[in-house]
Amino acid sequence: MDRKRENFGSRLAVIMAMAGSAIGLGNIWRFPYMAGQYGGAAFIIVYVICSVFLALPIFLSESIIGRATQKSTFGAFRQLAPGTRWSSLGLLTVITPVIILSYYSVVGGWSIEYLIKSISDGFHSGSITDAASEFSQFSSSTGGPVLCHTVFLMGCAIVILGGVKKGIEKFSNITMPVLFMLMLMIMIYSIFLPGAGEGISYMLKPDFSKLTPTAVAAAMGQAFFSLSLGVGTILTYSSYVQKKEDIFVSGLGTAGFDLLFALIAGFAIMPAVFAAGLEPGAGPGLIFETLPYIFAQMSDVSPVISSIIAVIFFISITVAALSSAISMFEVGVAYLVEEHRVSRRKATLAIFSFAWILGIACSLSFGILGEFRISGMTIFSFCDTLTSNFLMTFGGLLFTVFVGWKMDSAIVRREFTNNGTLKFNSRIYPAVRFLVRYVAPIVIVTVFVTNLFL
């Protein structure tokens, strides 16, 4: 007999948990940088369109599969397509998030180190080169990054051990509102800094001349990756959603929270970057090199305010990283608990061990394993490229093709409309089905080809 399955307690809990999965480090550094690089408000408009016509159909596809079966990714495909290769392909969405968790926890560990530094020692004035050098020295060392990576994973494991209601739901319900409030505080402070106007213009001023095909593809990719699509996290969380909930509303709520947070993060970071007279940079360098330099400059004027803002910022970074990592952790745990009948404790230990070992290799690729290459890339870069550019997009394609073409259309309609009781959902169902069957797969292939050649 199947074990009694836990469910999220309310619609708000569903949205908070899924928003926690979606909101991560990419919202904080990647979205603001890309918005400015590709036309500001023009990019944001394209991003919103892509969220509706690309991200939301994939989100709904995962949600429909998860709630219809109330099973993990592998079990869901096995139930809906028994005796076919779909179930074995379901393993892809178990392996992918665990690989992501492995290297993501390395970056999460860096956020813990910088949170501790902001509390204990603070950031001291110097050049941007000094800040970059300090980060390089830390990330390329051995003991510190591995220890922080371990602590970060342990934090994820503690939440996962609590289960769905006492672990994931409780963590999300507390941390998501706090995360929004913290980022709002930083945003308010940032936009009133002298010289912040250029950063605000950087985010808001539409420049359609920069809206090239590459920019459109970037908006597609950002919409896709920002909601943690294609890796089974939404499917797994949806399997804990009660049948009475409206998955369309949950999807809109999650996408809305994700976009709102990305915009808040943009207005929290970019005005400060420009106020300091710096050019915005992409990647972790914006978080661990540029912003510590800005905090150091602030400390010359007001050490107390600088320390407070730095602590708030790195708490936000750590919480955002944890919320996303927890959702990836849960995919593997749910698979082991349901398919191999092991306890949640043993499943958590197994996923922790795999992610910990691979994560150590990823961390050391910045140092003593830096010369070890896979297809010309470090271990960290290889894992990132493999999952972000290929496995995630293939997973998204898998979900949309399955729901659009393989899955029983009666089940799809039933889950989307709650057996026809949701009248609005019933009216828009044909349009949603068209997006899932035709539009989303074409756009996903476009993103995949763009990643392949660029």
Nearest-angstrom CA–CA distance, 447 and 259:
20
Which domain does 111 fall in, by range?
A: 11-453
Say if 32 falls within a structural domain.
Answer: yes
Count of structural domains, the chain: 1
Say if 351 falls within a structural domain.
Answer: yes
Q: Domain containing 161 — which CATH number? A: 1.20.1740
**pLDDT (0 to 100) of residue 33:** 81
Q: Which of 67-81, 132-146, 207-221 has the lowest mean pLDDT?
A: 207-221
Say if 2 falls within a structural domain.
Answer: no
Say if 6 falls within a structural domain.
Answer: no
Nearest-angstrom CA–CA distance, 169 and 20:
10
**pLDDT (0 to 100) of residue 282:** 57
Nearest-angstrom CA–CA distance, 109 and 449:
32
**pLDDT (0 to 100) of residue 3:** 55
Say if 5 falls within a structural domain.
Answer: no
Q: What is the mean pLDDT of residues 159-165?
A: 94
Give me the phi and psi of 374, to 5 degrees please. Answer: -125, 115
Say if 4 falls within a structural domain.
Answer: no
| Contact assessment for residue 26 and residue 229, using Cβ atoms and an 8 Å cutoff | no
CA 411 to chain centroid: 29
Q: Which tens digits make up the pLDDT trace of 82-104? A: 888 887 777 888 999 999 999 99
Q: Which tens digits make up the pLDDT trace of 2-30? A: 456 789 988 889 999 999 998 888 788 78
- Closest CA relative to residue 44, chosen from 217, 213, 203: 203
Q: Which of 105-109, 300-304, 342-346 has the lowest mean pLDDT?
A: 300-304
Say if 1 falls within a structural domain.
Answer: no
pTM over 0.95: no
Which pLDDT band, with edges at 50, 70 and 90, does 388 fall under?
Answer: confident
| 28 secondary structure, DSSP code | I
**Long-range CB contacts for residues 375-384, cutoff 8 Å, separation at least 24:** 380/103, 380/106, 383/99, 383/100, 383/102, 383/103, 383/358, 384/103
Q: Which tens digits make up the pLDDT trace of 419-454? A: 999 999 999 999 999 999 999 999 888 878 876 776
Say if 141 falls within a structural domain.
Answer: yes
**pLDDT (0 to 100) of residue 454:** 61
Nearest-angstrom CA–CA distance, 454 and 214:
9
